[in-house]
Amino acid sequence: MNAEYYDDIIIGGGKAGKTLAPALVTAGRKTALVERSLTMIGGTCINVAGIPTKTMVASAKVADIVRNSAAYGVNTNTPMINLAAVIQTPLLVAERSRGATCISVSFLK
């Protein structure tokens, strides 16, 4: 097995790592970024924290607006919440975000 040498090795492909790595590469350094899990590329925010919670909050806001639409002069039926879809949506958003992160990280040298 051949040894590889790097100027910097960043542990974790979260918000910090994916921001720092391209900056170091742009500065001419040979940088490796190590992420322990394929389902955590992009880090906590994208996969299990900020983005998923805000996506579910957005679903709740839509339901609330529809439920109270008459107050705005718009008559609608009572919203039916598809909880499985509410839970699935953040997973799809996270998957898309991981894809975008993979593309940007793959440009690292």
Ligand X SMILES: Cc1cc2nc3c(=O)[nH]c(=O)nc-3n(C[C@H](O)[C@H](O)[C@H](O)COP(=O)(O)OP(=O)(O)OC[C@H]3O[C@@H](n4cnc5c(N)ncnc54)[C@H](O)[C@@H]3O)c2cc1C
Enumerate residues 4-23 that contact ligand X by CB under 6 A. 11-17
- Rounded CA-CA distance 108/21 in Å is 8
The least CB distance from residue 80 to ligand X, in Å, is 27
Residue 38 sits in the site that holds ligand X (CB under 6 A) = no
Which among 32-40, 71-79, 82-90, 100-108 is the span making contact with ligand X, rule CB under 6 A?
A: 32-40
Enumerate residues 50-109 that contact ligand X by CB under 6 A. 50, 53
Q: Which residues pair with 84 in a beta bridge?
A: none
Separation in Å, CA 16 to CA 6, 51, 89, 92, 106 = 19, 16, 25, 23, 16
Burial class (CB in 10 A: 0-12, 13-18, 19+), 78: exposed
Q: Which position's Cβ is nearest ligand X? A: 14
Which among 45-53, 62-70, 77-85, 97-105 is the span making contact with ligand X, rule CB under 6 A?
A: 45-53
